[in-house]
Structures are given as structure tokens and as C-alpha cells.
Amino acid sequence: MAAGPNSLLIHNSGESGSFAPHSSTWNAQAEHSFSGLLRLRATYTESHASGLIVLQPQLVQDVNALLLNGSGRSRYRQAEVTARFSWKDGQQLFLSYTRSRALGDLNDFSAFLGNFPSPLIRPNVFSNLPADLPNRFLAWGRVKLPWQMQILPIVEYRNGFPYAEYDALGAYVGTPNSDQTRFPDFLSVDARVLKDFKVNPKYTLRFSVSVFNLTNHFNALSVHSNIADPQVGTFFGDYKRRFQADFDVVF
């Protein structure tokens, strides 16, 4: 184990294993109501983490070894704008756009905790984190329909997650999780239509039908990322359009 870096509040002794992860986060938010119909909120968040425990293959006294050290770091920045439209009978519609960036060391020790008998440890790289999403748009709400019905729509459109490419031996090819190797853009249009039937003052029967991925958009779940694979770069696996019926007792 190597020693980690010092910080404003943490001072290590320089001895092996003397490190402690630490982070700092700050955010600012402004909100304004333009009328009874529209309210806007803008938020900015920034977080920095240092002293993260990373696992790094290294040559120690001419012997290949896996070294734990506290030199890991990560950085997250997010700017978000949300608009809320409200009108009669409690109907609401929210629109949200988020611009963010998540960077960090890929060999965070937590990524190797689990049932891995012989995990493949590659050299550590500082790059986009696997959950990095530069752009994300969300819309959701509650709108009344004729015949005392309601619809609850949810729409999400965002960039795809980054991924790494490997050679036949499992080594990185190029920069892992770069912006050039991302899943296709993700689009999901979901909605739930419901109707309540009042049985008595205490009990209400609620019938609903939900649809997921209404547009049947191809949202890949995995990719052939080995350059020795004839299908390298081919995305596969997704959830097709599907329906679900529900019956609830509300009291």
C-alpha cells in the first residue's frame, strides 16, 4: 500500500497505507416564479474527491504486484434548469435539462469488490466515468383527460453511456470511456393512464394501463467492444415497447 496525498484537513504520516478519501461539494440555486403558471429553477453543483483508493498494477522490486494507493480523484459538475407549469385542478408539467460531466480514475477499488475470482486489472486511467451523461432532458407530469381520467407521462432523452474498447488480451484500445465510444442516444417515452372509481368515502378502486418505450426506440444494453470481434462496434439488447395493466385499492 502506498501513502495518499495531504489535504487542508488531512495530513498523513507518509507511511504506507496512510491515506483517507475525502471530498468537497458546493452548489448554488436560484428559483423564480413568473406567474401562477410558470416557475423556473436553476441549480449548479460541483464536487471534487481526492485520496480515493485505486488498484494499480505496478512493478515492485522487479516483481509484478497490485498496489493499493490513495492517489485517486474524481470531479463532477452539473448545471440544471427545471421549469414547472401548473394549472387548474393540480395539473402539472415539469421540463428539465441537465448538462453534466463526471471524470475520475477508472481503477477505483470499489469497482473490484465482488465475486471476481481473477479480476483483470488494467493500468489506471483518468477519463470519463461509466455513468457520465453530458446532456439529459426529462419531462414528466400529471394531466387530466376526459371522462375523469388522468395521464402521467415521462419522457427521457439523453446521451448514451461511454464504454471502453479492448484488444484480444483485454487491454484498453485508445482512451477508455472517451466521447468517441458511446452508446447511441437514449430515448424513452412512457405513460400511465388511470381512472379512479369511488366505492365509498374510504375506498377507491384505481385501474391503470402503462406503456413503456412507446416509440419502440432502440436503446442498446450492451456492445461488442473487443476489436478482435468481427462484430466490434455493434450494439445489441434492448427493451421493446411493452404494456402493463394495474389494479389498486386506494384508501
DSSP letter string, the chain: -------SS----SSTT----EEEEEEEEEEEE-SSSEEEEEEEEEEEEEEEEEEEEEEETTEEEEEEEEEEEEEEEEEEEEEEEEEGGGEEEEEEEEEEEEEEETTBGGGG-SS-SS---PPP-EEE-TT--SEEEEEEEEEEETTTEEEEEEEEEEPPPB--EE-TTS-EESSTT-TTSBPPPEEEEEEEEEEEEE-SSS-EEEEEEEEESTT------EE--BTTSTTTT-EE--PPPEEEEEEEEE-
Residue 10 lies in a domain: no
Q: What's the pLDDT tens digit per position in 131-182?
A: 999 999 999 999 999 988 999 999 999 999 999 999 999 999 999 999 999 9
**Confidence label for 112 from pLDDT (cuts 50, 70 and 90):** confident
What distance in Å separates the CA atoms of residue 140 and residue 154, rounded to the nearest whole number? Answer: 4
Longest CA–CA span in the chain (Å) reads 80
| pLDDT value of position 41 | 97
Cα four-point dihedral sign 59, 61, 64, 65: negative
Q: What's the pLDDT tens digit per position in 175-230?
A: 999 999 999 999 999 999 999 998 888 889 999 999 999 999 999 999 999 999 99
Residue 11 lies in a domain: no
Backbone angles phi, psi at 118, to 5 degrees: -145, 75
**Amino acid letter, residue 197:** F
What distance in Å separates the CA atoms of residue 10 and residue 113, rounded to the nearest whole number? Answer: 26
Q: What range does the domain containing 184 cover? A: 133-251
Indicate whether 14 pLDDT > 60. no
Residue 90 lies in a domain: no
| pLDDT value of position 21 | 84
What distance in Å separates the CA atoms of residue 189 and residue 134, rounded to the nearest whole number? Answer: 20
- The count of other CB atoms within 10 Å of the CB of residue 221 is 10
| pLDDT value of position 9 | 56
**Total number of domains in the chain:** 1
Residue 121 lies in a domain: no
**CA separation (Å) from 1 to 5, 53, 56, 63, 90?**
13, 10, 10, 15, 58
| pLDDT value of position 116 | 62
| pLDDT value of position 128 | 97
Residue 108 lies in a domain: no
| pLDDT value of position 195 | 93
| pLDDT value of position 213 | 97
| pLDDT value of position 110 | 79
Residue 231 lies in a domain: yes
Tell me the whole-structure pTM to 2 decimals: 0.84
Higher pLDDT, 140 or 114: 140
Q: What's the pLDDT tens digit per position in 33-69?
A: 988 899 999 999 999 998 888 988 887 777 888 888 8
What distance in Å separates the CA atoms of residue 191 and residue 7, rounded to the nearest whole number? Answer: 48
Q: What's the pLDDT tens digit per position in 66-106?
A: 888 888 999 999 999 999 999 998 899 999 999 999 999 99
Higher pLDDT, 10 or 190: 190
Rounded average pLDDT over 10-19: 57
Q: How many residues does the chain have?
A: 251
Residue 181 lies in a domain: yes
What distance in Å separates the CA atoms of residue 186 and residue 183, rounded to the nearest whole number? Answer: 8
| pLDDT value of position 58 | 82
Residue 139 lies in a domain: yes
